[in-house]
Structure 1
Amino acid sequence: MKKFSTEADARIVIDDLLRQAGWEPADKSQVLTEISIRDMTWIVAEPVVRYRVQSATKTKDGDEISTGRADYVLLNRRGRPPAIIEAKRSAIEPYTAKQQALPYAKKIAAPFIFLTNGEIIY
């Protein structure tokens, strides 16, 4: 498989794989990209979950909000995030991003994490 020198190169392949799996990366009701986890607050409003950006650095309970950026956040039909995708360039073993992705997934209650460099997917 082709080597991708940058994360942006890998994203082209990741976007194609998402389309093959039925997700449309350009549709922000399905896929959010480059999302700042620290600034994101999920609002649960049955039956739809919406998101908004806010500048707070602590939750209502006083817990620190995870910082960082999720490369992709997948949204289901109800607007809930079933998964995040952490993208890396091909020179990086994607599994090394596990510890980076875990707090992102916890923050938005996404039960699944995908780690990929466009060649390998965990």
Structure 2
Amino acid sequence: LDSPRPGDAIAAFYQAIAPELAGLDHPLYPHGDPRAAYLLARLAPMAQHAPRLAAILAVCATASELLDARPNADLALAAMELAFGWPEGAGSSLFALARAAGWIAHAAEQAGSGAMIRPRARYVGRAYREEA
């Protein structure tokens, strides 16, 4: 962000990769990933006293604006990993830990209700295949 036109450098980088690989947009959250919005909102006040964090958040905001895409949780966790000097992969580990807690909660809710909840597919019976 030290260049006179940082948006040009950011745009050039993002032209080479798809937005979903860059931590932007999410198929389950077409109006924005609420997890990312929460994390980034908590980080914003800290940026006043943390130049590295401020620069990272500025890149995220510029990329979001240039691509007309909203940040997802992956981007927010990557920003935290970089800004706070976490070990490489810590953001991914934190994401996996949060997902594991969600899966356990989902399984407990489903077991308690005795019915399948929030299915993303519809079971149509056993699939048969012809033996050749």
- Where on the TM-score scale, by shorter chain, does this alignment land: which range? under 0.3
Higher fraction of strand: 1
User: Normalising by the residue count of structure 2, what TM-score does the alignment of the two structures yield?
Assistant: 0.24
Higher fraction of helix: 2
User: Normalising by the residue count of structure 1, what TM-score does the alignment of the two structures yield?
Assistant: 0.25
